[in-house]
């Protein structure tokens, strides 16, 4: 994997983490087109897959 590809994956990972951190219950989460719990699960799974792809190239530290 090229350095540029790794950087793109890291950027994507960070973007997904930022969006995940913004999720909240809202006034009526049950009437959303896509429930936040579904979005959260999708993002969580995506981050895990990206982490798996990066594990041989970089050390991923959990953010506090």
What does pTM read for this prediction?
Answer: 0.63
Per-residue pLDDT, 1: 75
- Is 63 within a domain? no
45 in a structural domain: yes
Within 8 A by CB and 6+ apart from 28, the residues are none
Return the pLDDT at 51. 87
pLDDT tens digit string along 42-57? 899 998 888 888 888 8
| Domain count along the chain | 1
Domain extent for 34: 3-54
How far apart (Å, rounded) are the C-alpha atoms in residues 22 and 57? Answer: 28
4-51 tens-digit pLDDT: 888 888 888 888 887 777 766 555 666 556 778 888 888 999 988 888
Judge whether residue 64 has pLDDT over 70: no
């Amino acid at each position: 994997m090229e350095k540029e590809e790794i950087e793109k994956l890291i950027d994507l990972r960070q973007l997904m983490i930022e969006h995940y951190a913004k999720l909240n219950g809202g006034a009526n989460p049950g009437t959303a087109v896509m429930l936040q719990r579904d979005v959260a699960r999708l993002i969580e799974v995506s981050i895990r897959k990206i982490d798996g792809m990066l594990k041989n190239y970089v050390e991923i530290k959990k953010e506090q």
